[in-house]
């Protein structure tokens, strides 16, 4: 099978969420072009409408208008985040700065995801939380005047970092964060800088300093394509028998392109390359080109994981077709995604005839040449479904 052509993938989910929240905190009308229109993005848009923002319908190809009041209004009842962890955590940060009580909840999967990594530092800032489900949702937050925060994150998390930075923005207070070595996605910092806000990253990215210098001014943003979505098409191109695939107007943020470095190690420099084209509020954008390539095993160390955590399922699929054993170090965070993604990934690989094993927080995948055949279980996790769909493009594959 050949994989070839020119494709534009849907808008970046991480940037879409952050752009909507920032626009809701602006006083006036902002315009967002190329926004993702998925269920998660719709959850954020729907919640912001209930909190007083005027958000136009999310339609593919249409610009989204966000009329902000400079603040949020008290909601009439509970705020449902669907399956979106980014929505829930960023929302908690912003609500912490507002003087009313709100209850935040989500679907069954989201209610299992840990929230204390956000609520504990927000409590230090002055917000009050009432837990209704141990460490998960639903929970109630009562916000108000906040205090400056200095906080050391125990786990690299762009959602936690984003929640605390948005709390500083909404509350008008300083935030100083220390991340574990390697850091995490920096979409919030780039957006803030692109909007003229003061946020500084120092010491190789481990320290982030936010200083309040005013509110958000209404803005216009053209969101690039989501590189995490592009990754699945890259995987299909690598496993193909011929062709060349160009993915246009894709976000090339270096905190999101770690999987490309791993792919290059597995398939060589000629397997993928990038062509930068523009900037979108501090976010680099360009074209990603992928070609078929024989694959060999590699080791993905712990410092690399924050920049490719969402691409581990796709990389594990590629590892199952590579020569040798690939090791993914310290990927235990996958256990608290939309599913227990780590254990399901290994179990599904074994179900289709591959050799995969979880040892502690490490994942080992040994490649093979036999056609993958078997039935998988996704537990409603879209990244698992899409990764194994890529494996289903292999000749003679029967992945159900």
CB of 48 closer than 8 Å to CB of 66: yes
For 344, residues 6+ apart whose C-beta sits below 8 A from its C-beta are: 377, 378, 379, 381, 384
Q: Give strand pairing partners of 202.
A: 207
CB 28, CB 201: distance < 8 Å? no
Instruction: For strands 299-300 and 325-328, give the pairing.
Output: parallel
Question: Who's near 255: CB < 8 A, 6+ residues apart?
Answer: 158, 183, 184, 185, 186, 187, 306, 307
Bridge partners (DSSP) listed for residue 28: 68
Which residue in the list 301, 310, 355, 362 is annotated as catalytic? 310
Task: State the DSSP string of 94-137.
Answer: HHTTSSSEEEEE--HHHHTS--HHHHHHHHHHT-EEEESSTTSS
Q: What is the rounded CA–CA span in Å between residue 275 and residue 277?
A: 7
Q: Is 381 a catalytic residue?
A: no
Give the DSSP letter of residue 63: P
Catalytic residue numbers, as ranges: 310
């Amino acid at each position: 099978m050949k994989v070839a052509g020119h494709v534009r993938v849907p808008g970046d989910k991480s940037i879409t969420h952050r752009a909507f929240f920032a626009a809701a905190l602006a006083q006036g009308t902002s315009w967002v072009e190329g926004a993702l229109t998925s269920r998660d993005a719709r959850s954020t848009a729907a919640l912001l409408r209930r909190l007083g923002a005027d958000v136009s319908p999310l339609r593919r190809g249409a610009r989204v208008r966000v009329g902000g009041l400079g603040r949020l209004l008290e909601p009439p009842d509970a705020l449902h985040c669907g399956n979106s962890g980014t929505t829930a955590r960023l929302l908690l940060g912003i609500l912490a700065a507002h003087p009313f009580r709100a209850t935040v909840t989500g679907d069954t999967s989201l209610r299992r995801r840990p929230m204390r990594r956000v609520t504990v530092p927000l409590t230090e800032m002055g917000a009050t939380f009432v837990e209704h489900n141990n460490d998960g949702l639903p929970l109630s937050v009562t916000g108000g005047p906040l205090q400056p925060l200095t906080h050391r994150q125990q786990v690299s998390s762009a959602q936690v970092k984003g929640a605390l930075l948005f709390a500083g923005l909404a509350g008008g207070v300083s935030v100083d964060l220390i991340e574990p070595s390697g850091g995490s996605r920096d979409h919030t910092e780039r957006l803030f800088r692109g909007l003229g806000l003061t946020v500084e990253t120092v010491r190789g990215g481990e320290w982030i300093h936010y200083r309040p210098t005013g509110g958000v001014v209404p803005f216009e943003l053209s969101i690039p394509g989501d590189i995490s979505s592009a990754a699945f098409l890259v995987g299909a191109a690598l496993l193909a028998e011929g062709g060349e695939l160009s993915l246009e107007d894709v976000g090339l943020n270096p905190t999101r392109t770690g999987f490309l470095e791993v792919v290059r190690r597995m398939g060589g420099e000629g397997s993928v390359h990038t062509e930068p084209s523009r900037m979108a509020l501090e976010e680099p954008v360009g074209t990603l080109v992928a070609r078929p390539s024989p694959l060999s095993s590699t080791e993905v160390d712990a410092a690399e994981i924050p920049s490719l955590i969402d691409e581990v399922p796709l990389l594990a699929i590629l590892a199952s077709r590579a020569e040798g054993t690939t090791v993914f170090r310290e990927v235990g965070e996958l256990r608290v995604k939309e599913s227990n993604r780590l254990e399901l990934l290994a179990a599904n690989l074994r179900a289709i005839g591959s050799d995969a094993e979880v040892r502690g927080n490490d994942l080992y995948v040994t490649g093979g040449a036999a056609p993958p055949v078997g039935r998988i279980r996704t537990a409603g996790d879209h990244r698992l479904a899409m990764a194994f769909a890529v494996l289903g493009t292999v000749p003679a594959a029967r992945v159900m």
